[in-house]
Structure formats: C-alpha cells, structure tokens
Amino acid sequence: MYNVVEIQKILPHRYPFLLVDRITDLQPGESIEGYKNVSISEPVFQGHFPDHPIYPGVMIIEGMAQAGGVLAFKSMDDNSQEAIQNKVVYFMSIDKAKFRAPVTPGDRLVYRLQVLKNKGPVWFLDGKAYVDEKLVAEAQLKAMIVDK
C-alpha cells in the first residue's frame, strides 16, 4: 500500500529512526497494519547487545507510534502532501505497555493499530506488534497532530 519512499512523504523520520518499512493495510479513521524488517545491520545492535542482539522494546513502541502517525495523517480531512508537511505528531502518553517475547535480527515485526477514540487532533490507539503471528508487544498510545 505504501512503501518506505511513500512513508517518508508522510512521516518526518529518517534513518536510523524511521522504523516502518511498509504499510500493508490502512482503513482511515479505523486501523493500520505495517511492518519493519529487523536487520542485524541496524545501529542499535552495536550496543543492545553485541553478543546477544535484542531489538529494544522502546523501538518497538516507537515503530507502533510511527505507524499510528501514518494512520492519523491519512485520516485527516485534508491529507494532501502540503497539509501533512506542515504538521507533526506528538506522543502524549503510552499506557499498558507489555513486552511478551524478544524480537531479534531476521524477524519481521508487524504493527497492527486500532483507533480506540479520535477527538479532533487527538488520537487514542491500541497497538500490537507481532512476529510470525505471535504477539510480542502491546501498548495503548495517545498522540496529537499539531502544526510545526
């Protein structure tokens, strides 16, 4: 649906902090699914941990939030390139975060987010992350779209 080049037209994030490789499903105002291919060549593995690489939980949550940002931007009434370029998504809260299993190099980390509530620029999202259909992390995210 959206490849990484198209995602970069929506999100301001860039390497090494763009954590969504592709969006595979998007239902504006409702849900999104996307993924990140976790590779050993990512800088985070130089220190987390050199002889036992584990993808950090905070990076999983950030990837979820970035997918949620795509959902929020593409759900705006005016989701033109010009409108999106003048906005940014800010995290307001992360609740009920749980990490169920480690994510390691070679995994495809699939993000699935559902809109719990949307009030104007504020979005409440239920996020889940999977590897091979196994739940590896979950959290409820609250974010707001603001002018840059």
The string of pLDDT tens digits covering residues 48-88 is 999 999 999 999 999 999 999 999 999 999 999 899 999 99
Residues 6+ apart with CB under 8 A from 107: 37, 38, 55, 131, 132
Catalytic residue among 48, 62, 76, 142: 48
The pLDDT-based confidence of 117 (bands split at 50, 70, 90) is very high
pTM of the model: 0.96
Respond yes or no: is residue 52 known to be catalytic.
Answer: no
Q: What is the DSSP code (8-state) at residue 91? A: E
Question: At 60, which CATH number?
Answer: 3.10.129.10
| Cβ atoms of residues 98 and 139 within 8 Å | yes
| Cβ atoms of residues 141 and 64 within 8 Å | yes
| Cβ atoms of residues 14 and 8 within 8 Å | yes
Q: Computed over its alpha carbons, how large is the radius of gyration of the chain?
A: 15
- Total structural domains within the chain: 1
Question: Which residue range forms the structural domain that includes residue 100?
Answer: 4-147
